[in-house]
Amino acid sequence: PCPLCLPQYSLVFDAGSTHTALYIYQWPADKENGTGIVSQVEACTVSGPGISSYADNPAGAGASLKPCLDKAMKIIPAEQQRETPTYLGATAGMRLLREQNSTKAEQVFAEVAKAIGEYPVDFRGAQILTGNEEGSFGWITVNYLLETLVKFSFAEKWEHPRDTEVLGALDLGGASTQITFQPGVTIEDKNTSVFFRLYGTNYSLYTHSYLCYGQTQALKMLLAALHQGSPSPQQISHPCYPKGYQENITTADLYNSPCVRAPSTPSPAQVLTVTGTGDPAACSTAIQKLFNFSCGANRMCGFNGVYQPPVRGQFFAFAGFYYTFHFLNLTSKQSLNDINSTIQTFCQKNWAELVENFPQEKGYLHTYCSVGIYILTLLLDGYKFNEHTWSSIHFSRQAANTDIGWTLGFMLNFTNMIPTEALEHVKGHQPGLWAGAISFIVLAIV
């Protein structure tokens, strides 16, 4: 060990479509190339919407980051701030803005970079991650935290854990969803294939990101489809919203995203009244229509004709998958039957009953039924899990006290902290005691 070594820090902004979070990571300086070594010190949620919402006020995007940066400067000792690598990665919200108006996207990035540049950190840039990067870095995060990539053995060597299968990653954001796993068959479409060499082992992974199929954009596509199928132009009956729930929305707000095609003759200033009918069967039918599940002849696919080999191995489902299932109390390995009936029952509760039962959840409460059914549809019909493979999905927010998402994998990659070759025994390395503290029961190999 290195008594005088100061811990090292890194900052990563996760600029998502609905909000931004700043993650502060720390690791002991003498253990840079170990695994299971980086820990999350803090996650600071930026108040307000995602940076892509500041298209018409780019300076506001920069200003929004400052309270979290101020907090980070209180945590990281002043003498180490200048060597703290700092990144901002934006995902599907900014992919959509760039598609809609690349000038506005660039202005938002300029302001965000300017704001971070005012702090004494080693700022290494703001970028839009590709969908494949987002999926791959999430996969690295999961497998790094669960130590499936490398372990410190009893022989005091870092070695590839024998008999350990790597885990797949399922991510659901506001504007996209990602699936990444090691299929064990040749990947037939090179657009969905990524290759890593980590700690001396080769990994050939399948990954794909579906833009617009994150939960916020999917609910928008659903509302637009219900609007276009509605007999009355200003009224929308919503089978996924609870009975007794009503809201007004303008057509301008509904059709403000590249994910929803405006009808041929939109009248922008129209106000629409959306009324919940609480009908889970009709909700499920309406949600299925957002996807095209047919694969074409002799082709394996996920949905919308995208190639996907059959799912294989255990999976961690995080972000939106976890939050909605956690709210519905469905994260503790329930059977598919139980999950279906819980969601059905929830969808049939009327609005007054829901508000009484969950007073603190008022903002999103009307959406949990639709998102619950959306998640089931996406996992079963989209990604092709079934009643046999369902039990291999683990709904989780954290592993080893660290949030699961793309940021840790991104940081490990860009700071070159995961070596491509196997590690030799490093003098003074102690097997991490915390390995046993992972709140994770080692899965029996099915």
Q: Is 293 exposed, middle or buried (0-12, 13-18, 19+ CB in 10 A)?
A: middle
Rounded CA-CA distance 257/97 in Å is: 8
**Following CA atoms 190, 192, 193, 198 in sequence, which dihedral angle do they give, to the nearest 10 degrees?**
160
d(CA 113, CA 119): 10
Q: Is 175 annotated as a binding residue?
A: yes
**Residue from 120, 170, 145, 109 nearest 35 by CA:** 145
**Residue of 42, 83, 111, 134 marked catalytic:** 134
Q: How far apart are CA 351 and CA 192, in angstroms?
A: 42
Tokens of 319: 């972000």
Q: Are strands 246-250 and 271-276 parallel, antiparallel or unpaired?
A: antiparallel
**Whole-angstrom Cα distance, residue 75 to residue 62?**
21
Tokens of residue 140, six digits: 């690295």
Give the other-Cβ count within 10 Å of 81's Cβ.
17
Q: Is the dihedral of CA 396, 257, 367, 385 positive or negative?
A: negative
CB 407 within 8 A of CB 89: yes
**Is residue 424 among the annotated active site residues?**
no
Q: Which of 358, 55, 351, 377 is nearest to 221 (CA)?
A: 377
Residue 176, annotated ligand binder? yes
284 among annotated binding-site residues:
no
C-alpha distances in Å from residue 62, one per residue of 19, 25, 70, 175, 411:
13, 22, 13, 21, 21
Q: What is the dihedral of CA 399, 133, 53, 224, to 10 degrees?
A: -100
Q: Are 339 and 331 in contact (CB under 8 A)?
A: no
**CA gyration radius, the chain:** 23
Residue ranges at the known binding site: 174-178
Annotated catalytic residues are 134
Residue ranges at the known binding site for ATP: 174-178
